[in-house]
Structure 1
Amino acid sequence: LGQLTAQEQKEVQAMASSYPEIRQEIEAIEIALEKYAMKNAVKPTIGLQDRIFERIGLTATASHPKAKVIPLNAELKVNYQSKIRGLRLALVACIALLVVSVAALYSAHSDLGNARDQIASLSLDREKFTSTVNYMKANNSDLNKLVAMSDSPDWKKIKLAGQKNPNDNMVVYWHPAGKHVMINTTKMDLPANDRTHQYQLWALVHGKPVDLGVFDVNPDTAHILVNMKEIGVVQAFAVTLERRGGSPTPTMEQMMAMGGV
């Protein structure tokens, strides 16, 4: 290529880049020329080196300081390794921060769940407390009213005796002038009714039964006294067990208790 012009060298290099066969041929020629030059090289005569050094004012034995060779990529390598270490430390710090964040989030979620459970428990306790207070207030009011009724001559206390079972009994309070009728749940010894049946209170007026309403026998009744329908004239009270909601006429076979005024 040294025998070609600059333009010709560019054209040959372009063809060598485009055609691998040409590039291989050029490389083969260069290798052959190098081998030829090595084979036919002329060994310099003895003393030629000394004569050349004398010409330039130096001696063959003069010591020449060796230049300190510093790898060009040494500093780049150090900087690269330093950056790698920095990135590793940053990655470790990020992972540690992520672990701490996840742990804190889990702890916060757990604490939030516990707080919700405590709030729900407190709310339930408050409802129970409110229910208990209301129950006590109602019972206290009923107790005060029961005491007043027992001391008042205007109220009549009628005991109803069991018809099927002598142990079945209950108490009815009746105010003739005010036509008020009340039953005392604490003075009621009747079998507990199921969900499909209820007890029904009757008033016998001139031999005919008059409906005074239905009630349930429940040991957890919130009120001691239960208001029934009003009536002014009564010869006797009776209780039957009927289908839930009551019956227009009493089922005599289910007569549970009865008491005259």
Structure 2
Amino acid sequence: MEEGKAYIESGILELYVLGELNAEEQHEVEAMAGKYPEVKQEISAIALAMEQYAIRHAVQPSVGLENKILARIDGNTAATDEVPDSSATLVAGGAKILPLYPEGYESKLKTLRIALIACAVLLIVSGIALYFAHTELGAAKQQIIALNQDKERFANTVNYMKETNKELQTIADMPNDPDWKIVKLAGTKMDPQAKMMVYWHTSGRHVMVDNSKMGLPQNDEAHQYQLWALVNGKPVDLGVFDVKTDTAHILLKMKEIGGAQAFAVTLEKRGGVPSPTMDQMIVMGGVSI
């Protein structure tokens, strides 16, 4: 609604009715008219106002001049006799010489010149006003774009907070669900200070990595960390992940597993490998019964 009002006040609708816009600008006005009923109504009101102005200021020709023109066209001199012209001059033989311009023509011409000058001044003033209005419209459009961008950023922040609260609530509810196993993975000789946390839901088979408690060095673009579940002494791939300081989620979902005795993480080439590189194992932890 505010956008439609600002568009009406910009002055572009008057240019549209006068036919002073290019094709692209005409399409823009027609699109706005289709979107906002008040814009369409304003266009109709402007067109009606201009039509009434033209009718109100129309100049009717004098009766004498009209009859003279009709008489000359029809070749009937009687029409001129019915409407005598006091400005005619008699010459030898009784012939009449009519002036080139009707009586009062100079006065009307002077009035017309003044009106034309006034119209020209009004046109210049209107052009300047429309220029500034067009500039203000452009600024208003930029403000609308900025507001939409702020709105989008705010929506993303709200969604992030909702997702974060949901994940925090999941972690808070884990102690009340005996099916959740919280597995602490400790560093190996590769990095004794490394550590991380894995959450495993035994009945639901869900496996998640806690990004908020990630104590692994940040990996480069060529490598990724790969999570393994040790099932009866055999490693089972549970997927790869990156360590980032600007992660969007607290919990990172991995592949599901129905049973496991321990979990381990190795540093592998990006995309993962079929079997773990043992000398690249950075953390490991057993599942407590």
TM-score with structure 1 length normalisation? 0.62
Alpha-carbon separation, structure 1, partners of 2:137 and 2:143:
10
Structure 1 residue identity aligned to 2:175: S
| Residue aligning to 1:234 | 260
Q: How does 1:80-95 map to 2 (within 5 A)?
A: 86=111, 89-95=114-120
Moved more, 237-246 or 128-137: 237-246
For residues 184-217 of structure 1, the C-alpha deviation after alignment (integer angstroms, 9 at most, x for no partner) is 1111122223344322111112222110011222
Within 5 Å, give how 1:148-159 maps onto structure 2: 148-159=173-184
**Which stretch shows the higher mean deviation, 131-140 or 148-157?**
148-157
1:134 aligned to 2:140? Answer: no
SS of alignment partner, residue 174 of structure 1: strand
Deviations 1:53-96 (A, max 9, x none): xxxxxxxxxxxxxxxxxxxxxxx9x976x678656644542342
Aligned: 1:183 with 2:248? no
**Partner of 1:193 in structure 2?**
219
- Which range moves more in the overlay, 245-254 or 140-149? 245-254
Change (3 A) 1:252 1:102: farther
User: Hey, what's the Cα distance between the residues in 1 that align with 2:124 and 2:217?
Assistant: 65
Given the superposition, is the C-alpha separation of residues 152 and 93 from structure 1 closer, same or farther in structure 2, using an over 3 Å criterion?
A: same
| 1:244 to 1:125, Cα distance in 2 relative to 1, 3 A | same
Q: Whole-Å Cα distance in 1 between the matches of residues 220 and 115 of structure 2?
A: 74
Greater CA deviation, 181-190 or 159-168? Answer: 159-168
- Aligned partner of 1:103 in structure 2 is 128
Residue 223, structure 1, aligned to residue 271, structure 2: no
CA separation in 2, counterparts of 1:250 and 1:195?
A: 19
Aligned to 1:61: none
Alignment coverage as a number of residue pairs? 186
**Structure 1 SS opposite 2:226:** strand
Matched residue, 2:286: 260
Measured in 2, the distance between the counterparts of 1:241 and 1:90 equals 87
Please tell me whether the aligned partners of residues 138 and 222 of structure 1 are also in contact (alpha carbons under 8 angstroms).
no
1:172 paired to 2:214: no
1:19-67 per-residue CA deviation (whole Å, 9 max, x = no partner) reads: xxxxxxxxxxxxxxxxxxxxxxxxxxxxxxxxxxxxxxxxxxxxxxxxx
CA RMSD of aligned residues (A): 2.6
Q: Residue 230 of structure 2 is aligned with which of 204, 210, 221?
A: 204
Residue 116 of structure 1 is matched in structure 2 by 141
| Structure 2 length-normalised TM | 0.57
Give distance in 1, aligned partners of 2:157 and 2:212. 18
Matches within 5 A, 1:7-18: none
Which 4+ runs in 1 deviate beyond 4 A? 82-88
Number of the residue aligned with 2:93: none
Q: Which runs of 5+ in 1 are unaligned?
A: 1-75
Distance 2:243 2:180 in 1: 23
Change (3 A) 1:94 1:138: same
- SS of 2:235's equivalent in the other structure is strand
Whole-angstrom CA distance in 2 between matches of 1:255 and 1:103: 74
- The 3 A distance-change label for structure 1 pair 97 and 253 is farther
Shift of residue 247, structure 1, vs aligned partner: 1.5
Q: Would you say the 8 A contact 1:185–1:225 is kept in 2?
A: yes
Higher radius of gyration, 1 or 2? 1
* Identical residues among aligned pairs (%): 60
Instruction: For 2:175 and 2:110, locate their aligned partners in 1 and report how far apart those are by CA, in whole Å.
Output: 95
CA distance in 2, matches of 1:206, 1:190: 26
